[in-house]
């Protein structure tokens, strides 16, 4: 579907996955907010039941204030590390009138939960399955290693990737040059996988110094350490 | 392009251990430490190492005991409840004078507690933990970079002194991501003539054991081991001092608490209060000397901890109770804010 603010059609369901720590949760949150900003209703679903920290729920207030509907596991961000999926996820997958952004777990084990919904998503066939790559993460330093993570996630989740987002960063120390230095690796991954690099993303201050990287507003904790 | 990588503290431990020549990891998953095991499970098979998820923590630590006896660099990691389970094995390893690395990424307790960060295993780590007369060398990282660097150092110290070393981190250190320069692969080669590697029919049997049938012999061994501990106290104590030269209020904190405290010390200085920070990097041996020296000028000390107050006893002992020592703490998985530490500094300044 065409949405203003987007240069390409937005699929009804967008799924973000990739090696954990690559930034998929931050991208999912910012992407859902952008859909809503451009006038469409959107739900965001936390399907990452492996990692009990750094959850979509960290951004709960920002999402709720913007009017993005949120679907989180009942005990997310609590001491009860219970990997249970709420029934509302089916609603997000089945309701074809509302956009859905799905935040998938960060490796083969994390992506396993996706398999439950894969047949419905594939049947509707209006989805983008995005591989978020950070080539500064130790287990995805090159295209070959990133490709094997990609294949592991596909095998576990049951949905093939359709696009790549380059979110290479070294946290607070990221410079714009660090991002551009990874373009070649992203291209190599694109060649190996046959998938397009659809976006480059960066924290907003870094993104300002680039030629068109999608700016991410990151969730900050209460104080710097 | 930067040569750094973006890593979680738990991953940094694992990668640094591999760089230090560790090819044997035995563990059992527990939040917030699980990424150490997960990372090892991916990496070890690729480099000809051993990753083994044992059936329990007790089993894992005894596998460490066995491999350490064979002379290889070996480690295990867990979080608080799992470390409690390992205590018997740790005591055996100490009693058999074997080098090994034990990582504790602490969570809130007691009991199952919770999965948020804590420093409430300080007593357990520094005062024994298991049974008998022994110490662990205890290292306390305060950044992801230090998680890597101190892991390498831990292996070197363990081999040098033939003793188990503990890396005492917390859930924040384990989970947070920061840029890291990974250590170059290297291993300080230590001759291990005591290791059980097979006699080849040419030498006498080596025996790895902590059982002594003769009490005189056991006492002699314990006394010798404590002479070694004395040497370690004299030579291996490590700490960081921050603005302590003229400090009237000295904050003592390690790990995540030290990072929060450093912000508070800066804020106090901006307000004209002469505050400083001593950050123990070795918790055993505890940096008694710099604390005692700081007490010459300081009017008060503050121990900042993610516990109900454990290190505070060592602070009081180090300065021989010559100045008041206040506790500034949170517990159960909560972290003190810089503002909380700052008001503790202001209060200590006001009262002394």
Q: pLDDT tens digit string along A148-195?
A: 999 999 999 999 999 999 999 999 899 999 999 999 999 999 999 999
Report cis status (omega within 30 of 0) of the bond before B349: no
Q: Which pLDDT belongs to residue A221?
A: 60
Q: Which of B 219-278 lie inside 8 A of A, CB atoms? A: 256, 259-260, 263
Let me know whether B39 and B52 are in one domain: yes
Residue A216 and residue B209: Cα distance in Å, rounded?
57
Per residue in A91-115, pLDDT (tens digit) is 999 999 999 999 998 777 889 999 9
Per residue in B2-46, pLDDT (tens digit) is 789 999 999 999 999 999 999 999 999 999 999 999 999 999 999
Let me know whether B227 and B250 are in one domain: no
The two three-digit tokens of residue B234, written as one number: 């004299």
Q: Which of B57, B135, B130, B134 is nearest to B90 (CA)?
A: B130
The answer to whether B4 contacts A225, with C-beta atoms less than 8 Å apart, is no
Among B235, B257, B290, give the residue marking a domain's end. B235
Among B172, B206, B235, give the residue marking a domain's end. B235
B175 CB within 8 Å of a chain A CB? yes
Let me know whether B84 and B111 are in one domain: yes
B332 CB within 8 Å of a chain A CB? no
User: In whole angstroms, how far apart are CA A120 and each of A90, A96, A114, B268?
Assistant: 9, 11, 11, 58
What share of chain B in percent tops pLDDT 90? 97
Which among A138, A181, A224 has CB closest to B5? A138
Q: Which pLDDT belongs to residue A225?
A: 61
Q: Average pLDDT, whole number, for chain B?
A: 96
Range of the domain at B176: 5-235
User: In whole angstroms, how far apart are CA B19 and each of B12, B73, B152?
Assistant: 10, 11, 8
Q: Looking at beta carbons, which residues of chain A come within 8 Å of B6? A: 21, 134, 136-137, 169-171
Please name the residue that has the structure tokens 């101190």. Answer: B150
Q: Report the CATH number that the domain containing residue B268 is assigned in CATH.
A: 3.40.50.920
Let me know whether B80 and B140 are in one domain: yes
Q: At what angle do helices B87-95 and B57-69 cross, to 10 degrees?
A: 10
The full set of domains in chain A, from first to last, is 13-220 (3.40.50.300)
Q: Which pLDDT belongs to residue B187?
A: 67
The two three-digit tokens of residue B150, written as one number: 């101190």
> A21: left (phi > 0), else alpha (psi -120 to 50), else beta?
left
Q: Which of B91, B99, B141 is nearest to B283 (CA)?
A: B141
DSSP codes, chain A: ---TT-SSPPPSEEEEE-STTSSHHHHHHHHHHHHHHTT--EEEEE---S--SS-GGGGHHHHHHHT-EEE--TTTTSS-------THHHHHHH-TTSEEEEE--SSHHHHGGGGGTHHHHHHHT-EEEEEEE-TTSGGGSSHHHHHHHHHHHHHHHS----EEEE----GGG--HHHHHTTHHHHHHHHHHHT--EEEEEEEHHHHHTSSSPEEEPPPP-SS--
Let me know whether B174 and B270 are in one domain: no
Task: Give the highest mean pLDDT range of A1-15, A66-80, B168-182.
Answer: B168-182
Let me know whether B162 and B73 are in one domain: yes
Q: Which pLDDT belongs to residue B312?
A: 98
Q: Which pLDDT belongs to residue B30?
A: 94
Per residue in B57-70, pLDDT (tens digit) is 999 999 999 999 99
Q: Which pLDDT belongs to residue A223?
A: 58
Q: What's the pTM?
A: 0.93
Q: What is the mean pLDDT of residues B224-252?
A: 98
Per residue in A118-140, pLDDT (tens digit) is 999 999 999 999 999 999 999 99
The answer to whether B179 contacts A134, with C-beta atoms less than 8 Å apart, is no
Q: Report the CATH number that the domain containing residue B133 is assigned in CATH.
A: 3.40.50.970
B327 and B305 in contact (C-beta within 8 Å)? yes
Let me know whether B79 and B15 are in one domain: yes
Residue B342 and residue B351: Cα distance in Å, rounded?
14
Distance between A60 CA and the closest CA of chain B, angstroms: 19
Let me know whether B276 and B197 are in one domain: no
Best mutation target, A79, A135, A142, A152, to test chain B (most B CBs within 10 A): A79
B285 and B163 in contact (C-beta within 8 Å)? no
Q: Which pLDDT belongs to residue A220?
A: 67
According to DSSP, residue B32 is labeled T
Q: Which pLDDT belongs to residue B337?
A: 95
Let me know whether B228 and B246 are in one domain: no
What share of chain B in percent tops pLDDT 70? 99
Quick one: pLDDT band at residue A74, thresholds 50, 70, 90? confident
Q: What is the mean pLDDT of residues A2-14?
A: 90
Q: ipTM greater than 0.85, yes or no?
A: yes
Quick one: pLDDT band at residue A224, thresholds 50, 70, 90? low
B45 and B71 in contact (C-beta within 8 Å)? no
Q: Looking at beta carbons, which residues of chain A come within 8 Å of B333? A: 79
How many domains does the structure of chain B reveal? 2
Residue B328 and residue B337: Cα distance in Å, rounded?
10
According to DSSP, residue B47 is labeled G
B76 CB within 8 Å of a chain A CB? no
The answer to whether B263 contacts A54, with C-beta atoms less than 8 Å apart, is no
Let me know whether B119 and B222 are in one domain: yes
Q: Looking at beta carbons, which residues of chain B come within 8 Å of A81? A: 31, 115
Let me know whether B220 and B323 are in one domain: no
Let me know whether B120 and B217 are in one domain: yes
Q: Looking at beta carbons, which residues of chain A come within 8 Å of B175? A: 53-54
Q: Looking at beta carbons, which residues of chain A come within 8 Å of B256? A: 225
Q: Which of B94, B239, B253, B60 is nearest to B166 (CA)?
A: B94
B29 CB within 8 Å of a chain A CB? no
The answer to whether A223 contacts B2, with C-beta atoms less than 8 Å apart, is no
Per residue in A194-215, pLDDT (tens digit) is 999 999 999 999 999 988 888 8
Which among A79, A137, A223 has CB closest to B5? A137
Among B235, B269, B285, give the residue marking a domain's end. B235
Please name the residue that has the structure tokens 């170059």. Answer: B184
Q: Which of A106, A73, A164, A82 is nearest to B11 (CA)?
A: A106
pLDDT at A222 over 70: no
A116 and A94 in contact (C-beta within 8 Å)? no
Best mutation target, A49, A171, A184, to test chain B (most B CBs within 10 A): A171
Distance between B182 CA and the closest CA of chain A, angstroms: 10
B181 CB within 8 Å of a chain A CB? no
The two three-digit tokens of residue B48, written as one number: 């000809």
- Looking at the DSSP assignment, which residues form a beta bridge with residue B53? B27
């Amino acid at each position: 579907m065409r949405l203003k603010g987007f240069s390409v059609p937005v699929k009804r369901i967008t799924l973000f996955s990739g090696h954990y720590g690559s930034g998929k949760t931050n991208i999912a949150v910012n992407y859902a907010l952008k859909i809503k900003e451009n006038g469409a209703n959107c739900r965001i679903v936390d399907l990452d039941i492996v990692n009990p920290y750094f959850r979509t729920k960290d951004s709960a207030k920002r999402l709720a204030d913007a009017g993005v509907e949120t679907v989180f596991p009942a005990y997310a961000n609590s001491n009860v590390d219970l990997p249970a999926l709420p029934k509302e996820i089916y609603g997000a997958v089945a309701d074809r009138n509302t956009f859905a952004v799905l935040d998938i777990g960060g490796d083969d084990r994390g992506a396993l939960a996706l398999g439950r919904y894969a047949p419905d998503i594939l049947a509707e066939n209006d989805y983008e399955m995005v591989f978020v790559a950070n080539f500064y993460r130790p287990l995805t330093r090159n295209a070959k290693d990133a490709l094997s993570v990609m294949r592991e996630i596909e095998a576990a989740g049951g949905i093939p990737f359709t696009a790549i987002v380059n979110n290479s960063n070294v946290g607070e120390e990221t410079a714009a040059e660090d991002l551009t230095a990874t373009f070649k690796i992203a291209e190599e991954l694109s060649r190996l996988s046959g998938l397009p690099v659809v976006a480059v993303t960066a924290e907003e201050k870094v993104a300002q110094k680039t030629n068109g990287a999608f700016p991410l507003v990151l969730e900050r904790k209460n104080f710097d350490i | 392009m930067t040569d750094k990588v973006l890593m979680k503290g738990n991953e940094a431990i694992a990668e640094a251990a591999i760089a230090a020549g560790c090819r044997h990891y035995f563990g059992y998953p527990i939040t917030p430490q699980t990424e150490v095991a997960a990372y090892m499970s991916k990496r070890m098979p690729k480099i000809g190492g051993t990753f083994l998820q044992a059936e329990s923590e007790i089993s894992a630590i005894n596998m460490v005991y066995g491999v350490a006896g064979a002379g290889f660099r070996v480690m295990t990691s867990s979080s608080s409840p799992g470390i409690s389970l390992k205590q018997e094995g740790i005591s055996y390893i100490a009693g058999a004078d074997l080098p090994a690395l034990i990582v504790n990424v602490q969570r809130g307790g007691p009991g199952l507690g919770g999965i948020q960060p804590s420093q409430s295993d300080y007593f357990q780590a520094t005062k024994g933990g298991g049974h008998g007369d022994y110490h662990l060398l205890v290292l306390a990282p305060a950044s992801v970079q230090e998680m890597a660097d101190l892991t390498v150092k831990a292996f070197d110290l363990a081999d040098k002194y033939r003793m188990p070393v503990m890396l005492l981190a917390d859930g924040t250190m384990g989970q947070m991501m920061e840029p890291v320069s990974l250590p170059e692969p290297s291993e300080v080669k230590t001759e291990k003539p005591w290791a059980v590697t097979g006699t080849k029919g040419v030498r006498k049997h080596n025996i790895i054991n902590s059982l002594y049938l003769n009490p005189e012999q056991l006492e002699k061994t314990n006394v010798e081991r404590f002479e070694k501990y004395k040497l370690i106290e004299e030579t291996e104590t490590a700490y960081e001092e921050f603005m302590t030269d003229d400090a009237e209020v000295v904050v003592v904190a390690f790990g995540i608490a030290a990072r929060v405290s450093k912000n508070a010390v800066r804020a106090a200085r901006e307000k004209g209060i002469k505050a400083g920070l001593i950050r123990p990097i070795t918790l055993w041996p505890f940096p008694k000397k710099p604390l005692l020296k700081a007490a010459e000028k300081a009017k008060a000390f503050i121990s900042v901890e993610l516990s109900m107050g454990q290190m505070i006893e060592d602070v009081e002992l180090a300065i021989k109770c010559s100045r008041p020592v206040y506790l500034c703490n949170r517990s159960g998985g909560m972290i003190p804010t810089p503002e909380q530490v700052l008001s503790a500094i202001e209060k200590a300044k006001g009262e002394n």
